[in-house]
Structure 1
Amino acid sequence: MTVFDSVVRSRRVVTARGVAAASVGVVGGRIEVVDAYSADLPAREVTDLGDVALLPGAVDLGTGVHAAGRDLPESYRAVGESALRGGVTCVVASPAPARPALVCADALRAHQRAAAGAAVSVLFLGGVTRDTSPLDLADLQAAGAVAFSCSLSDGGAPDLSALSDARLRKAMAELAALDSVLLVHAEDAAELGTPPVAAEHRPPRAERRGLERVIAAARVVGARTHVGPFTAAECAALLAAAGSVGVSLSAHTCPHYLCLPAEALEPGSPAHACRPPVRSEANRKALWSALLAPDPAITTVGSGHLPAHGLYTLEWSLTALWTAAHRRGRGLADLVRWTSRGPADLLGLGGKGRIAPGHDADLVAFDPDARVTVPGTDPSPYAGRVLRGRVERVWVLGHTRAPRSAGPPPPEEAGETREPGRARARGETSGRPHRDTSV
């Protein structure tokens, strides 16, 4: 009889078949069996979560890592700790901004060494610039890059130069030959001006024009392409129509675009640095409609964590997304599809994104009914807001991790938020809670 290293039980285990009571047996960092909740599974350690849900760990796509004032190992340690607190068990690091930028195999190996001390699994995107050669791409893939990333404007500034149409087609052809995926920051540089307009004023037409360029190139080459972050809901029809002309195109968005309308942002909110910008309430509602369409082209949702631009979103993204999804009547299976299974499927990560035999034991104990208040001094765009859902415990490759508390108890009225922490830090205290109209 198999003696498992550990068994985790929950009455709400999220698998590909849905949400059900089950027991998950783990051996050697991988899931050996998913059985009935009451199954007799001898183990060295047994955890019964009761009504706390058990999710596959989130796979965060395009995570920014390098922060000003921190060396590379320290940056990866910090991102790993934030990921753990946010229920993310695997980060897929963005190639830029970074020092060194991930545009060659030597740089990738430097990042791999630096990431060895991270608390979660770390994978890497290779960067594509106007100077990238076919040999560079092949070397990056051989060294471990799971996909590639480029920009049509300043999405990877200052390390990824904007690609012309000719260079975009060339990169797509080279990556199609490598059977890899290209992630594209699709804002068009010509629509942003020189120098580019301020982050919060970047127009939706920049995304539309960039998306048209991506579709035209992919239609010629036939490459698998993933556009992100996708924010301009007015482009949803164009995105959805790509398949009808034979283009394998999907998209990625972030919780702050789904949760935070521009009208609700405080003047000092870090969300003003988002590129593309956080858009209007009407756009936010339309973006949700695109995500919830019967056959959506938006298949992944990730944090958009980018410390180089002051965006610290990794810790709260899963909770913020669940808060908004729950309000729209969506369930834990949707949350897992957007944050775990979708990214894993896109990148061909066969061992990630699912609670199933043979997969990595990357697991998250998530209380979907808990309410937490993001501390007012938190550097994220969610500071002071009341959110639903809390990460209780995390297992990375079968090894248990216990995240620190995700914030103080919420105000008595669940729909209220506290005054923004930045105001309190300046000594401006009005004592007036305001109703949360976002998320």
Structure 2
Amino acid sequence: MPEFDSVIRSTRTVVPEGIRSASVGVRDGRIEAVRPYSARMSAHEVVDLGDTALLPGAIDLGTGVHAPGEDLPASYQRVSTSALRGGVTCVVVSPAPGRPAITCADSLQVHQRAAAGTEVSVLFLGGVTQGTSPLDLADLHAGGVVAFQGSLSDGGAPDMAALGDGRLRKAMAEIAALNSLLLMHAEDARELGTPPVSAEQRPPRAERRGLERVIAAARVVGARTHVAPFTAAECAALLAAAGAVGVGLTAHTCPHYLCLPSEFPGPGSPAHACRPPLRSDANRKALWSSLLEPDSPILTVGSGHLPAIGLYTLEWSLPALWTAARRRGRSLSDLARWTARAPAELLGLGGRGRVQEGYDADLVAFEDQTTLAVPDSDPSPYAGMRLTGRVRGTWVAGRPTLSDAHQP
């Protein structure tokens, strides 16, 4: 009788301790053993990746799903395909934009039904609006949301109107009582121009003012808060100072803010849809410096995929992030920490985000030396670029979901 359902071998397996040769034994969707590469292990199937790296699958935080003019189940299927092609094995869905927005137990159930049958794992964030009641939050929590999300502006989502300071503090207190986490889009609506779509109408000071409001509220309430997305590097000192005054404040950014300066995209690029907008090249470099600082409060990096405003980023985010990270001498361990381990720990997703015994067998085969050209016709902000990193295959709960995702 075979010992394992499958064994996946790689000479470059990213485990919590670093990168080493290993054979990963999988049974019933879980990693049951991590042994030396040459270990004799009986299995129904053995996959030998050779020098292709084996990483924990990415957990994409705040993924937008609903595309304009598309029914909800079709949107989930499309996101599932894009996620797996991009090395993402779990999407944590933003409550909006969407029809319906995930702001109560009934709308959560609509999304859960729509997501049923997708190959990628799907988790949900609950939306916090001016009209959200404590009962709504409790029902969403009981229904399975892994955290909550609110905004001080439009946040790119018209269903998530700006929270005032009073409602923000109350929501923080209610979420803290549930021992949960609040993700906040921190651009202050009062600092945005009209219409708030261009970089000029969404200046860095909007993010600074919003961050000051979030810190003030969290300091009073003591709630765990994750600013998402964080883009204005001039606010890094303010973010870091929050910890010094006892505020549990961390942040999330996206590969396009780390890879694409505002000077780069042409006039028709989808990158102009980003909210907050792309910042200057100087800001991009400073954002990297903040991310790479020891004990940086910028913990997580995710795609920022938001098809409702024309931002399709899931498929290329991992290669884009790796392209920029390797230029700075970073390792695949850093990549795995930002995209898998840190999101799992932030959300309390026990058993996810690591290649380790007892954890879910959510895995990615990643060719980190392969260079690919993103087609000029691609709907992502990376169209026309050459990126390093190719997702060769993924496994969700030990089940292979695709291979050779991007053909040379």
The TM-score bracket by the shorter chain reads over 0.9
Offset of 1:274 from its aligned partner? 0.5
Cα contact 1:84–1:403 (8 A) shared by 2? no
SS in 2 for 1:266: coil
Cα contact 1:200–1:274 (8 A) shared by 2? no
Cα contact 1:12–1:54 (8 A) shared by 2? yes
> In structure 1, what is the equivalent of residue 196 of structure 2?
196
Q: Over aligned residues, Cα RMSD in angstroms?
A: 1.1
Q: Could you report, residue by residue, the CA deviation over 1:22-77 in whole angstroms, capped at 9, with x for unpaired residues?
A: 01000001100111111111000000100000000000000000001110000000
CA distance in 1, matches of 2:307, 2:199: 15
Offset of 1:3 from its aligned partner? 1.2
> In structure 2, what is the equivalent of residue 36 of structure 1?
36
Amino acid at match of 1:57: G
> In structure 2, what is the equivalent of residue 431 of structure 1?
none
Cα contact 1:16–1:355 (8 A) shared by 2? yes
Amino acid at match of 1:82: S
SS in 2 for 1:402: strand
CA distance in 2, matches of 1:64, 1:197: 18
Q: Could you tell which deviates more after superposition, 337-346 or 196-205?
A: 196-205
> In structure 2, what is the equivalent of residue 52 of structure 1?
52
Q: Could you report, residue by residue, the CA deviation over 1:152-192 in whole angstroms, capped at 9, with x for unpaired residues?
A: 00005210110001110000000000000000000000000
> In structure 2, what is the equivalent of residue 298 of structure 1?
298
SS in 2 for 1:339: helix
> In structure 2, what is the equivalent of residue 3 of structure 1?
3
> In structure 1, what is the equivalent of residue 240 of structure 2?
240
Q: Could you tell which deviates more after superposition, 59-68 or 263-272?
A: 263-272
Amino acid at match of 1:118: T
Cα contact 1:58–1:90 (8 A) shared by 2? yes
Offset of 1:308 from its aligned partner? 0.2
TM alignment of 1:131-170, pairs within 5 A: 131-170=131-170
Amino acid at match of 1:177: A
Cα contact 1:152–1:164 (8 A) shared by 2? yes
Amino acid at match of 1:138: A
Distance verdict in 2 for CA 1:14–1:289, change over 3 Å: same
Matched, 1:263 2:263: yes
TM alignment of 1:94-243, pairs within 5 A: 94-196=94-196, 198-199=198-199, 201-243=201-243
Distance verdict in 2 for CA 1:407–1:204, change over 3 Å: farther
Offset of 1:200 from its aligned partner? 5.7
Matched, 1:400 2:400: yes
Distance verdict in 2 for CA 1:391–1:81, change over 3 Å: same
Cα contact 1:200–1:278 (8 A) shared by 2? no
Amino acid at match of 1:14: V
CA distance in 1, matches of 2:145, 2:299: 21
Amino acid at match of 1:69: G
CA distance in 1, matches of 2:210, 2:259: 24
Cα contact 1:375–1:407 (8 A) shared by 2? no
Cα contact 1:371–1:390 (8 A) shared by 2? yes
Question: How many residue pairs were aligned?
Answer: 408
CA distance in 1, matches of 2:321, 2:202: 24
Offset of 1:253 from its aligned partner? 0.2
Cα contact 1:200–1:272 (8 A) shared by 2? no
Cα contact 1:16–1:354 (8 A) shared by 2? yes
Amino acid at match of 2:329: G
> In structure 2, what is the equivalent of residue 383 of structure 1?
383
Distance verdict in 2 for CA 1:274–1:156, change over 3 Å: closer
CA distance in 1, matches of 2:33, 2:196: 53
> In structure 2, what is the equivalent of residue 412 of structure 1?
none
Flag the structure with more relative contact order, 1 or 2, with Cα contacts below 8 A and sequence separation at least 6.
Answer: 2
CA distance in 2, matches of 1:205, 1:363: 40
CA distance in 2, matches of 1:330, 1:234: 23
CA distance in 2, matches of 1:173, 1:131: 15
CA distance in 1, matches of 2:197, 2:288: 26
CA distance in 1, matches of 2:407, 2:307: 21
Distance verdict in 2 for CA 1:359–1:41, change over 3 Å: same
Distance verdict in 2 for CA 1:197–1:31, change over 3 Å: closer
CA distance in 1, matches of 2:124, 2:199: 26
CA distance in 2, matches of 1:157, 1:198: 16
CA distance in 2, matches of 1:235, 1:314: 26
Amino acid at match of 1:363: L
Structure 1, unaligned stretches of length 5 or more?
409-439
CA distance in 1, matches of 2:112, 2:28: 23
Cα contact 1:273–1:309 (8 A) shared by 2? yes
CA distance in 1, matches of 2:363, 2:335: 14
Offset of 1:405 from its aligned partner? 3.9
TM-score normalised according to structure 1 size: 0.91
Q: Could you tell which deviates more after superposition, 120-129 or 108-117?
A: 108-117
Offset of 1:401 from its aligned partner? 1.8
Cα contact 2:57–2:340 (8 A) shared by 1? yes
> In structure 2, what is the equivalent of residue 351 of structure 1?
351
CA distance in 1, matches of 2:47, 2:75: 32
CA distance in 2, matches of 1:2, 1:16: 27
Cα contact 1:200–1:273 (8 A) shared by 2? no
Distance verdict in 2 for CA 1:403–1:306, change over 3 Å: farther
CA distance in 2, matches of 1:70, 1:2: 45
Identity within the alignment, %? 73
Offset of 1:358 from its aligned partner? 1.1
> In structure 2, what is the equivalent of residue 367 of structure 1?
367
